Amino acid sequence: MGSCCLLNPNTRTCPIFRTRRDAELTKAIYRRVPVLIREGPPEENPWGVSFRQGPFNMTGDSHPFRTRAQLEREGWALEGNVFMRSEASNVERKT
């Protein structure tokens, strides 16, 4: 197996190392530890990894968020970087 396939099996690109020792150490690690996800064929996921973009993603989770125009129509006013309405606030303030 070539070094590029070992170190980057999905892209088969060759990383740049500062020293030969760095390259040899990296190859030794990659020979002992499987890649997180091999895009295949055959596809492999020996670690059972799945990727997520965190708890809030504006692409898939935009429904709970309101736009500035929506907030202003509902009586909220921007004060600094917080929207306020009378004595209520979307953020707890520490005194």
Q: Which residues pair with 79 in a beta bridge?
A: 82
Q: Cis peptide before 64, with omega less than 30 degrees from 0?
A: no
Closest CA to 27 of 2, 44, 46: 2
The length of the chain is 95
Position 18 pLDDT exceeds 70: yes
Higher-scoring residue by pLDDT: 6, 95: 6
Q: What is the pLDDT of residues 31-72, one digit of tens each?
A: 999 888 989 788 999 999 988 777 777 777 778 888 999 999
Q: Read off φ and ψ for residue 27, nearest 5 degrees.
A: -60, -40
Closest CA to 80 of 93, 62, 67: 93
Please state the domain extents for the chain: 1-49, 64-95
Q: What is the pLDDT of residues 65-89, one digit of tens each?
A: 889 999 999 999 999 999 999 865 5
The model's pTM: 0.47
